[in-house]
């Protein structure tokens, strides 16, 4: 089946299915009437032309041509063909009918929302990128320091419970909690809510600053803004999901307020002066997020959070990740962890790029979930190869889709 049919017929909002033909979990209820819209003829022609030029971010013809000709531009990530910033909105307009009439769906997401298969959720690993430069070390050091403060505040300890204790029947959970070796369900939630209220900041700040830069310099952005805003939206959905399970106390709200006030401004300044370091910092932060959620999942699997045994998934999470209706909380936390692995992968990859020249290699298609789950990120060279491959695949898909007489 061609990729374009897949997009129109099955899951029009998800960019990652653009070139993928694998089945997707939880989409059965989502089948929309195939859209009449396809790539416009002019878009097809542009894609088919596949000119071997080097794209630049400049809007002015003379400047763009100069940059395209200039020496070294061939090394710009995503620059082959026209340079891609993401799918056109016409390519992904879904049939709104389902969303408006199906009362079991509470929301439609106009930004990409991630959907995973079981196998993809299993690929997530705790991996880290060893710091290379001084700035990397500063970013990792800051994250380690923040993590220590955060652990103290939320009474979190990364201790492994010995097998001999786990084999007891029943496991002495109250005792382990009293000793501070285990977090209770409420303490996990407190930690998640604090974590996620901070995590939604960087994508929005990065998106804002790149948006302003694009307008200020009258240059294209290269597809970064949307990925960054998607990340912010994704983190906010994590927060909203956990908020359906616990209403925060005045104390938690005050902490969120203070942390947001400080963190937004600190991150804003960091991104303004060193966007590379800011992305590296987020990559390192997400390494820790994957570690924390992995710990929680292991605790749940070992029966150490009995309050959450067979706890149903919140409705908002079923909608957002398109989970089967009988999903459990553990399925949600596994999806959240896979999202964090994506943020880890994307931010470390973006940190390796030329912040001014390179296109976002994931503007058109994300790396597959296995890669995002098991790898810390792409080097700049890997990003360039990936961007080129995705463009070529799309051009190929369009050619296969287009009847011969339309050429
Ligand atoms: Fe998150
Ligand atoms: Fe995250």
| Gap from CA of 195 to ligand 2 centroid (Å) | 9
Give the up-direction half-sphere exposure of residue 45: CA atoms within 13 A in the CB hemisphere: 6
Contact (Cβ atoms closer than 8 angstroms) between residue 80 and residue 52: yes
| Gap from CA of 172 to ligand 1 centroid (Å) | 30
Contact (Cβ atoms closer than 8 angstroms) between residue 325 and residue 205: no
Give the up-direction half-sphere exposure of residue 278: CA atoms within 13 A in the CB hemisphere: 25
Out of 7-21, 122-136, 138-152, 299-313, pick the least confident: 7-21
| Gap from CA of 346 to ligand 1 centroid (Å) | 14
Residue 177: band (very low, low, confident or very high) from pLDDT cuts 50, 70, 90: very high
* 406 Cβ contact partners less than 8 Å away, ≥ 6 residues apart: 41, 44
Write down the pTM of the prediction.
0.80
- Would you state the pLDDT for residue 67? 77
Ligand nearest to the CA of 285: 2
Would you give the distance in Å from CA 130 to the centre of its chain? 21
Nearest-angstrom CA–CA distance, 75 and 119: 35
Ligand nearest to the CA of 238: 1
What's the sign of the alpha-carbon dihedral 70, 75, 77, 80?
positive
Out of 115-124, 150-159, 337-346, pick the least confident: 150-159
| Gap from CA of 82 to ligand 2 centroid (Å) | 31
Q: Write the pLDDT tens digit of every residue in 19-56.
A: 333 333 333 333 333 333 344 444 444 443 444 445 67
Which single residue is written with the structure tokens 């209706």? 325
* 226 Cβ contact partners less than 8 Å away, ≥ 6 residues apart: 85, 86, 111, 207, 363
Between 142 and 3, residue with greater pLDDT: 142
| Gap from CA of 343 to ligand 1 centroid (Å) | 9
| Gap from CA of 123 to ligand 1 centroid (Å) | 18
Nearest-angstrom CA–CA distance, 197 and 190: 11
| Gap from CA of 340 to ligand 1 centroid (Å) | 6
| Distance (Å) of CA 158 to CA 149, 292, 302 | 14, 9, 15
Residue 54, beta-bridge partner list:
80
| Gap from CA of 62 to ligand 2 centroid (Å) | 40
| Gap from CA of 313 to ligand 2 centroid (Å) | 20
Q: Which range scores top for mean pLDDT: 73-82, 156-165, 204-213?
A: 204-213
| Gap from CA of 232 to ligand 1 centroid (Å) | 9
Contact (Cβ atoms closer than 8 angstroms) between residue 338 and residue 369: yes
- Would you state the pLDDT for residue 319? 86
- Would you state the pLDDT for residue 397? 76
Residues whose CB is under 5 A from ligand 2 (ion)?
Answer: 199, 286, 340, 343
Out of 89-103, 223-237, 354-368, pick the least confident: 89-103
| Gap from CA of 305 to ligand 2 centroid (Å) | 23
Q: What is the mean pLDDT of residues 125-131?
A: 96
Nearest-angstrom CA–CA distance, 255 and 140: 23
Average pLDDT score over the chain: 80
| Gap from CA of 224 to ligand 1 centroid (Å) | 19
Q: What is the mean pLDDT of residues 255-283?
A: 95
- Judge residue 262's burial from the number of C-beta atoms within 10 Å of its C-beta, 0-12 exposed, 13-18 middle, 19 or more buried: exposed
Which single residue is written with the structure tokens 């359906």? 244
In this predicted structure, the answer to whether residue 128 has a pLDDT above a threshold of 90 is yes
| Gap from CA of 319 to ligand 2 centroid (Å) | 19
In this predicted structure, the answer to whether residue 354 has a pLDDT above a threshold of 70 is yes
């Amino acid at each position: 089946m061609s990729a374009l049919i897949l997009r129109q017929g099955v899951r029009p909002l998800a960019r990652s299915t653009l070139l993928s033909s694998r089945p997707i979990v939880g989409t059965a209820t989502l089948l929309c009437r195939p859209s009449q819209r396809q790539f416009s003829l002019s878009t097809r022609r542009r894609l088919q032309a596949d000119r071997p030029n080097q794209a630049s971010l400049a809007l002015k013809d003379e400047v763009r041509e100069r940059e395209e000709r200039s020496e070294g531009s061939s090394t710009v990530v995503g620059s082959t063909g026209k340079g891609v910033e993401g799918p056109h909105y016409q390519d992904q307009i879904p049939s709104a009918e389902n969303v408006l009439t199906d009362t079991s769906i509470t929301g439609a997401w106009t930004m990409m929302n991630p959907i995973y298969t079981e196998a993809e959720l299993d690929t997530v690993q705790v991996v880290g990128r060893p710091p290379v430069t001084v700035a990397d070390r500063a970013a990792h050091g800051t994250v380690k320091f923040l993590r220590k403060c955060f652990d103290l505040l939320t009474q979190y300890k990364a201790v492994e419970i010995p097998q001999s204790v786990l084999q007891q029947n029943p496991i002495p959970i109250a005792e382990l909690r009293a000793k501070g070796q285990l977090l209770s369900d409420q303490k996990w939630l407190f930690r998640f809510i604090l974590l996620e209220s901070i995590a939604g900041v960087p994508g929005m700040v990065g998106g804002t600053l790149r948006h302003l830069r694009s307008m200020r310099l009258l240059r294209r952005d290269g597809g970064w803004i949307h990925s960054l805003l998607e990340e912010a939206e994704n983190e906010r959905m994590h927060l909203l999901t956990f908020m359906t399970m616990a209403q925060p106390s005045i104390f938690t709200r005050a902490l969120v307020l203070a942390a947001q006030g400080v963190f937004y401004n600190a991150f804003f300044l960091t991104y303004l002066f060193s966007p590379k370091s800011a992305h590296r910092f987020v990559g390192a932060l997400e390494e820790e997020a994957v570690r924390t959620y992995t710990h929680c999942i292991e605790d749940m699997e070992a029966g150490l959070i009995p309050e959450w045994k067979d706890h149903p998934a919140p409705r908002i999470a079923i909608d957002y990740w398109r989970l089967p209706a009988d999903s459990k909380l553990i399925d949600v936390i596994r999806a959240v962890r896979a999202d964090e692995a994506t943020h880890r992968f994307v931010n470390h990859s973006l940190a390796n790029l030329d912040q001014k020249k390179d296109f976002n290699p994931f503007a058109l298609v994300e790396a597959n979930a296995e890669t995002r789950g098991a790898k810390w990120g792409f080097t700049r060279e890997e990003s360039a190869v990936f961007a080129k491959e995705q463009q070529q695949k799309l051009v190929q898909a369009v050619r296969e889709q287009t009847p011969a007489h339309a050429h």
